[in-house]
Structure 1
């Protein structure tokens, strides 16, 4: 009678090692896909928050002229906004920036600044009364923010006189994802309704 040489045991160990490697590889791929899906969902949350901020800025621009000093300024033909953007929570010029300069205002504004006196971007709903749930579950980590830059409306064929040219607004909005580090910046050009 012959004794087994251990080759069957070695073969079983080799098959188990291959099965273990396949299992670990499958688990790693599943974790990576789950992480990618979570990041994609977070980016979509930030994108939707930024879109909401763009709409909030449009509501801000479209408020009736007599509603507040801010709405009267936004309704004027040639609004005069501060060069460095209005700052401070109580300032009616908060988030309004002059659009003439070497660099756009949105590049210089810190959208994360929430200081009472230093804030220069408008939190969602500040001037429109809109609300948005934040910081919990699948909601954004913070309210989206926006700022509005005014430029003369220089249309082809129009008068070269910029005093009566009207205003074209560049809205820059930042939305946050469930993780505050996830941010999306959206921009839109907007002309007030009835602005021609």
Structure 2
């Protein structure tokens, strides 16, 4: 009997090589998708961290404006353009409906801190350091501002101070308020 030799099919080898190429390509596509997703995730996280840092800067600027207003109320300033005496509610004529120099009469219908013009019109809101001689804050897009209102509660006077602080980006803003009891 003659012996037969069995030869492998050439078509079978070519099919196997095509399948392995396809598998490697699919693996590369999956790795590429994972890499792009990881880059997008880290970029998003960096943006969140940057926005939070800017919000913290704006918060600190607003807090500085509150402290500056408290000094302004107390009259503790030695600079040339400072108010000469502590702000006194008995001198009510210095408070006005137009919030000139940051001193506002309360409004029964709309709180003065909600009126956009009080923050954007020159000469209304007091700018940080104007009446206390404080050094300008670095890094912020603009210096913080404040408004002072006074109220009579029974026999006592109370000041409400509203302050707005800005971050390095001008669209980052934080508004804070505090109350200060007037000293007689």
Q: TM-score, normalised by structure 1?
A: 0.77
Distance 1:114 1:107 in 2: 13
Quick check: 1:151–1:168 contact (8 Å CA) kept in 2?
A: yes
Q: Could you give the per-residue CA deviations for residues 153-196 of structure 1, whole angstroms, max 9, x where no partner exists?
A: 23xxxxxxxxxx2421110000000100100000111113x45x
Q: How does 1:69-108 map to 2 (within 5 A)?
A: 70=83, 72=85, 74-77=87-90, 79-80=92-93, 81-86=95-100, 94-108=101-115
Q: Could you give the per-residue CA deviations for residues 2-43 of structure 1, whole angstroms, max 9, x where no partner exists?
A: 323100000000000000000000001001000000000010
For structure 2, the residue ranges without an aligned partner over 5 or more in a row are 1-7
Quick check: 1:78–1:152 contact (8 Å CA) kept in 2?
A: no
Do the aligned partners of residues 68 and 150 (structure 1) sit closer, same or farther apart at CA in structure 2, a change above 3 Å counting?
A: farther
Do the aligned partners of residues 146 and 69 (structure 1) sit closer, same or farther apart at CA in structure 2, a change above 3 Å counting?
A: closer
Matching residue of 2:3: none
Quick check: 2:148–2:159 contact (8 Å CA) kept in 1?
A: yes
Matching residue of 1:89: none
Q: TM-score, normalised by structure 2?
A: 0.82
Matching residue of 1:160: none
For structure 1, the residue ranges without an aligned partner over 5 or more in a row are 87-93, 155-164
Larger radius of gyration: 2
Once the two structures are TM-superposed, the CA of residue 55 in structure 1 deviates from its matched residue by 0.2
Distance 1:190 1:74 in 2: 12
| Secondary structure of the structure 2 residue equivalent to 1:110 | helix
Quick check: 1:96–1:149 contact (8 Å CA) kept in 2?
A: yes
Quick check: 2:141–2:170 contact (8 Å CA) kept in 1?
A: yes
How many residues align? The count is: 168
User: In the alignment, is residue 47 of structure 1 matched against residue 37 of structure 2?
Assistant: no
Question: Which is helix-richer, 1 or 2?
Answer: 2
Distance 2:61 2:109 in 1: 29
Quick check: 1:111–1:174 contact (8 Å CA) kept in 2?
A: no
Once the two structures are TM-superposed, the CA of residue 44 in structure 1 deviates from its matched residue by 0.5
Q: 2:69 aligns with which of 57, 62, 65?
A: 57
Quick check: 1:84–1:105 contact (8 Å CA) kept in 2?
A: no
Q: How does 1:142-181 map to 2 (within 5 A)?
A: 142-154=142-154, 165-181=155-171
Do the aligned partners of residues 111 and 102 (structure 1) sit closer, same or farther apart at CA in structure 2, a change above 3 Å counting?
A: closer
Distance 1:75 1:21 in 2: 67
